[in-house]
Structure 1
Amino acid sequence: MTDSKKQGIALPALVALVVSSAIGSGIFDLPSTLAQAATPGAALLAWVITGIGILTLSLSLNNLVLTKPDLTGVSDYARAGFGDFAGFISGWGYWLSAWLGNVAFATMLMSSLGYFFPPLKSGNSISAIIVASIISWALTILVTQGIESAAVINAIVTITKMIPIFAFIVIALITFKAGIFTSHFWDNMSTNLMGKVTYTAPTRAGIFSQIKGCIMVMMWVFVGIEGATTMAARAKKKSDAGKATIIGLFSLLSIYIVVSILPYGYLPLAKLQTMRHPVLLYLFKEMTGPIGGAFIAVGLIISILGAWLSWTMLPVEATSLMAEQGLLPNWFGKLNKHRAPANSLWLTEILIQLFLITLLFTDQAYNFAYSLCTSSIAVCYALVGAYELKLGLENRHQSMIWCGLIALVFEVVGMIFAGLQYLWLCTIAYVIGFVLYYRARKENNHPISKIEWIFMIIIGLLALTAIIALILGKLKA
């Protein structure tokens, strides 16, 4: 960029990137998913805990953007704090999480289109895979025309997809029944605190178990909160990346809380738990009639497309930055005439296409992809928190210490709640990346250190045991 005043991503587009990256399809099932895990009281407490955890992560990202303006993206923070190998683990995991998540977007989008076109409803039929493939390649081609222009389109998509969500919020407020909500809240809250059996079968657990069940869901609807930080190098003002992260966080948190809590005051808990998916679609249909259902269905389709576009940009930006840092071969960082990392884009698209094809034969590829996606992104976030904590200790800066510590603990606990077997599975994908890391180090005349070899051997052994466990059926994706 030669003229930062004319080129680059502006603050509104960065905020849109954060919101669009995080709001995909998860919000449309959030009311039922949380209702199956907890009562309103426990869900609200879980939102407070999750909000604090994600806030400290966002503040950490903001602090790092301001205090380390020469660094860009989650892999750069891990590299600066803990060495090149940590940077590779973070960046490679981020790339894996991003494009594997796009496979999930593809199947969910087809199921949503199935509301209007029944042959696509299963999500993995031949017709569904063909349509998903066409859309995936179209988004990749769009991003190859320039990431800045794609970000502008993404901002427009974000505004469009928020209209149905806000319409749902308005109607849900109008139809909200305080009696239903308060009855559920206090009755179940008090019995849970006393450790007694609660309202219905899905919530027969203590308050801790209910909060745990909620946090597992809530953590993943915030994946994408780092979107502006990842694109900081392309921002008009780098400091805007931190601002966009904080603005995006409070926007997301407000929307998620309202959308997930209001339905508790519209339907009895037992009915909310058993509604068809996507829940917002059928809730709105019940509130307003068939036209309302179609309205939300269109919103869901736009929402997934917007998130898919965001997550087409973010993974290749990560690999491009890693190539600049010498963590991946230079091939990954080569830009086309539109300044888009075309090589990374085409490779990522080919991998997505291969996974889409496997969906024709089995749904295990999808489950495996989802498992890797959720674990690898938590590792990236944990390293951000760890770096913030390290800087805080070095500079004796109390707010940085607390932000980093809370963010680190939150992400580690989240990985434990989600299941350590997923992190075990993740080691298989890291081992594949070690080949590229070795080539990059050789390409840049940077020998791999003894400690890096030790870590690679340990992770390699864990990956080998994971493969054996998968073959023997002892470990399931």
Structure 2
Amino acid sequence: MTATETQAASQKLSLPTLTAMVVGSMVGAGVFSLPRNFAQATGVFGALIAWAVAGVGMLMLAFVFQALAVRKPDLNAGVYAYAKAGFGEFPGFLSAFGYWASACVGNVSYWVLIKSTLGAAIPGFGEGDTILAVVISAVGVWAFHFMIVRGVREAAAINRIVTVAKLVPIVLFIVIVAIALKSGTFSANFWGTSGGLFDQVKATMLVTVFVFLGVEGASVYSRYARRREDVGRATVLGFVSVLALFAAVSIFSYGVLPQGELAQIRQPSMAGVMESVVGHWGSVFISAGLIVSVLGAYLAWTLMAAEVLFVAARDDDMPRFLRRENRHGAPVAALVMTGILITAVLAVTLWSDDAFTFTLKLCSSLSLVPYLLAAGYALKLRGTARQVAVSALAVVYTAFLIFAAGLEFLLLSCIIYAPGTILFVMTRRERGRRAFTLPELLLFVLVAAGAVIGVIGLAAGWITI
């Protein structure tokens, strides 16, 4: 073996390191909100079923992305490339745009959660949805923007700090709450207090999608693996570890407070549950870990959101102006568009009854079209019996998620998708082509009709945010 080959081999990642990377990519801000979000929907039994459904469904999606990365290595432009390859240019565009918009709305949820956390000490921030909270958040959005366009990237030091900030408070919370669990309270919360079991489970689905967003990222580590078979093992080990963390946070919380009280705790609800067990220091500890974690995650997801637009533009699937980079190599036009959408959605939260839950569910809903189309493309490719079964389960799961999201969030998604189609028309004109083919026009009319109905619904009050 040559010196170069020896060095390359030494830089390959072991199974434990790969597994840790998978865990780090999935553990984000959503876990800190789980006790309240689950208590608003269901009891212990429904939560167990919800995590089982989400666990199987999301693992199938992870396998789909992993298989596609191996079977179609030439499609390296992101999740939307699978939609384009399988269903055409306009569905591919909608997938890219939806994935980008989902990342932007997810970033809004980070700011809402930070201000809600600080709102416990600064009443003017409320639950992250006051004018003061929105203004300060908007300042933060553009402060991050100017840091990134100057060439600031997610350094290894930031990654290490963020990973510790994520995992230490979560693990400590699980240990303390498990020890403090009261069997009587847990039993009283077992069956839930509202609706049938199916409705309870359905109400949790967008929450579980939100906390697992980024599951497709596991497949990008394939080329770093010391052994190719370690990729699949790391995917399973990392995913099961994260699933265990998420389920433990939500399930053990039912043993500390009655479901009604859990459902009313301000976000981040993990801090409130911790405070009820150990006192005020517990809330401060969880809140501090959350803020560091969320700010690190915000940096990563802002870069990722801009990268989606930049790569799509480079591949002639978005207008040319989105290819623009500054002298630091930052995709400045894509970053500006990302900042504008984040700021706009922040402003919308002023009219929301529960800003964090609204942004969480909208973020999850926008991600469903890219996920469904990717799973559908994998099913079209067929392959072995196992690959067909995995793809079919992923399609069924993502289709169920769209059903679980309900008409309200489907229409709200259309309100974002419809005006975004302007970018598609610009791209076609730059290439001297017709704006739409007939099938694409029919699909656009359907999306536009959904947007119009959504706007009417908001104005009439039968759609609320």
Normalising by the smaller structure, the TM-score range is 0.7 to 0.9
Equivalent of residue 386 in structure 2, options 399, 408, 416: 399
Identify unmatched segments of 5+ residues in structure 1: 189-197
What does residue 55 of structure 2 align with?
Answer: 51
The question of 1:316 aligning with 2:306 is answered yes
Equivalent of residue 104 in structure 1, options 109, 115, 121: 109
* One-letter amino acid of the counterpart of residue 53, structure 2: I
| Structure-2 separation of matches of 1:443 and 1:184 | 63
The question of 1:331 aligning with 2:314 is answered no
Worse-superposed segment, 172-181 or 416-425: 172-181
What does residue 95 of structure 1 align with?
Answer: 100
What does residue 451 of structure 1 align with?
Answer: 439
Q: RMSD over aligned Cα, in angstroms?
A: 3.4
- Cα shift at 1:27: 1.8
What does residue 420 of structure 1 align with?
Answer: 407
Cα shift readout 1:1-39 (whole Å, capped 9, x = no counterpart): xxx97xx99899987776566444432231233234333
* One-letter amino acid of the counterpart of residue 455, structure 2: I
* One-letter amino acid of the counterpart of residue 41, structure 2: A
User: What are the residue-to-residue correspondences of 1:236-315 with 2, within 5 Å?
Assistant: 246=236, 248-315=238-305
- Cα shift at 1:318: 1.1
| Structure-2 separation of matches of 1:9 and 1:157 | 23
TM normalised by structure 1 equals 0.83
Contact map agreement 1:57 1:385 (CA 8 A) in 2: yes
- Cα shift at 1:164: 1.1
| Structure-2 separation of matches of 1:299 and 1:95 | 27
| Structure-1 separation of matches of 2:353 and 2:180 | 41
| Structure-2 separation of matches of 1:47 and 1:38 | 12
| Structure-1 separation of matches of 2:448 and 2:36 | 39
What does residue 460 of structure 1 align with?
Answer: 448
After superposition, the Cα gap between the structure-2 partners of 1:117 and 1:22, relative to the gap in structure 1 and judged at 3 Å, is: farther
Q: Indicate the percent of aligned positions where both proteins have the same amino acid.
A: 36
Contact map agreement 1:388 1:403 (CA 8 A) in 2: no
Contact map agreement 1:62 1:246 (CA 8 A) in 2: no
TM normalised by structure 2 equals 0.85
* One-letter amino acid of the counterpart of residue 389, structure 2: W
Worse-superposed segment, 410-419 or 207-216: 207-216
What does residue 220 of structure 1 align with?
Answer: 210
Cα shift readout 1:173-228 (whole Å, capped 9, x = no counterpart): 332345654x458xx5xxxxxxxxx5xxx524333233223334322221232345
Partner SS state of residue 71, structure 1: coil
| Structure-1 separation of matches of 2:17 and 2:301 | 15
The question of 1:65 aligning with 2:69 is answered yes
| Structure-1 separation of matches of 2:334 and 2:398 | 28
After superposition, the Cα gap between the structure-2 partners of 1:224 and 1:135, relative to the gap in structure 1 and judged at 3 Å, is: same
| Structure-2 separation of matches of 1:106 and 1:242 | 34
After superposition, the Cα gap between the structure-2 partners of 1:359 and 1:215, relative to the gap in structure 1 and judged at 3 Å, is: closer
| Structure-1 separation of matches of 2:249 and 2:271 | 12
Contact map agreement 2:209 2:364 (CA 8 A) in 1: no
After superposition, the Cα gap between the structure-2 partners of 1:135 and 1:16, relative to the gap in structure 1 and judged at 3 Å, is: farther
What does residue 160 of structure 1 align with?
Answer: 165
* One-letter amino acid of the counterpart of residue 246, structure 2: Y
| Structure-2 separation of matches of 1:472 and 1:119 | 30
| Structure-1 separation of matches of 2:62 and 2:245 | 17
Worse-superposed segment, 171-180 or 211-220: 171-180
Aligned length: 452
What does residue 381 of structure 1 align with?
Answer: 371
| Structure-2 separation of matches of 1:17 and 1:331 | 34
After superposition, the Cα gap between the structure-2 partners of 1:359 and 1:274, relative to the gap in structure 1 and judged at 3 Å, is: closer
- Cα shift at 1:356: 3.4
Partner SS state of residue 221, structure 1: helix
